[in-house]
A and B are shown apart, each in its own frame.
Chain A
């Protein structure tokens, strides 16, 4: 029997970490993820976990210590947000290049500057090409579930890549919701033991980690990483299926919400999905064939699967909670449209950059997107593909 609880997103993440009981946690506080190491330190102080908690002096050191610990043969975890992740950036790449299945809880927040502590996805988007598996979570339940699946995916011998579980700062991290928890022993059984093949603390086989890797080798090592990311797709599905058997909760690369006959489709991630579901329900009640595609697995990006899922739509809006500042589209948009193009699916698609710096995104905002999509579907004219939602503009037409 699962346990019914009411937890905030941060509590959910910390609870998952407690049940996983990693060997080492190294973390540095930063809003809005601070509570995770706080809750976790309490578990340590009260002897509820076997973990060595390293209260580092910076996020750069947090990731460095996680790398040291994971290389040493330990399960290492951390949590951060925004500028914390920015400071880790160098080590983020090193963690994945060393093929270390470190797991991070990333509570998404706007990256400075100017300084802002509220939610958007600019932190996650800054590391999207760093070789980490990236799972996004609509709500507290998913933040918890994704963390429970994380090690199984990351530590798989065909993968061996670090993994981050994203959730929206404040919106889910600080909102208390109903949640179903697994019993400790079930988590223990599901997550399993970590037994790396090679590790620093093995005195019988000393190893060397992190070479100078010159022209004759770096390309191949990067190819291996790319291959591991490709392999992760299969592993993610296998682990998700096993998790479903255990919990009844179904996960895949993405969730298709009322997509069977959907003509007007929104693609988005994390908490905005909840808002969008409410709008879709409303539109469906009014006879509008609205649908939603919620991306859960952003890295590896399920290009073909998404292209197929969207192929019957008449108009698509991709919502990006980070501006790529590239005089072009946001990151999710670019991934979706390039996937569509490569797979020969031609559906009018527009991009909305929205919710920057914690700007509220209401059902009314999302409704306006579907209204725009209806017009695009009818006129076949996409107008400006690079749109903004919720920014104070005099004229939201061509601004590029």
Chain B
């Protein structure tokens, strides 16, 4: 794992990264000042919120159903709550 204490010989050359998609190790959830709350009982699994999350913080399973938010990444923008027609997401 590379961090700011890694000695020069252990850093990849040119700043290349050979572990694609490793940003998932960088949590952005602490950016949030307001959080979406998922209310499953109101959710009709319509899917409108699936693609609108800039941070991919709405997990969707193979069963095509969403689960609760991934707060490791959710930045609290509120776009999902705004598109939900069924009040299944509230910001608080």
Contacts and interface: CB of A to CB of B under 8 A. Distances in A.
Contact of B20 (A97, A206, A213, A220): A206
Contact of B17 (A99, A207, A216, A223): A207
Interface in A213-230: 213, 216-217, 220-221, 223-224
Contacts, number: 45
B13 A220 contact: no
A211 B17 CA distance: 9
A240 B17 CA distance: 33
B61 interface: no
A208 B13 contact: no
Interface size class of B (residues with CB under 8 A): 10 to 19
B4 A224 contact: no
Given A206-B20, A207-B20, A208-B20, A213 B15 contact: yes
B15 A210 contact: yes
A349 B5 CA distance: 46
A198 B11 contact: no
A216 B4 contact: yes
Nearest to B8: A220
B16 interface: yes
A99 B18 CA distance: 15
Contacts of B11: 217, 220-221, 224
Nearest to A209: B16
B8 A198 contact: no
Contacts of A98: 14-16
Interface string B1-32: 00010101001011111101000000000000
A205 interface: yes
B4 A99 contact: no
A213 B13 CA distance: 12
B15 A223 contact: no
Nearest to B9: A224
Given A216-B4, A220-B8, A224-B8, A97 B14 contact: yes
15 contacts: A98-B15, A99-B14, A160-B13, A205-B18, A207-B18, A208-B17, A209-B16, A211-B15, A211-B17, A213-B15, A217-B11, A220-B6, A221-B11, A221-B13, A221-B15
Interface of B: 4, 6, 8, 11, 13-18, 20
Given A100-B14, A216-B4, 8 more contacts: A97-B14, A98-B14, A99-B13, A211-B15, A213-B15, A221-B14, A223-B8, A224-B11
Top 7 A-B pairs, shortest CB-CB distance: A216-B4, A206-B20, A99-B14, A208-B17, A220-B8, A211-B15, A98-B14
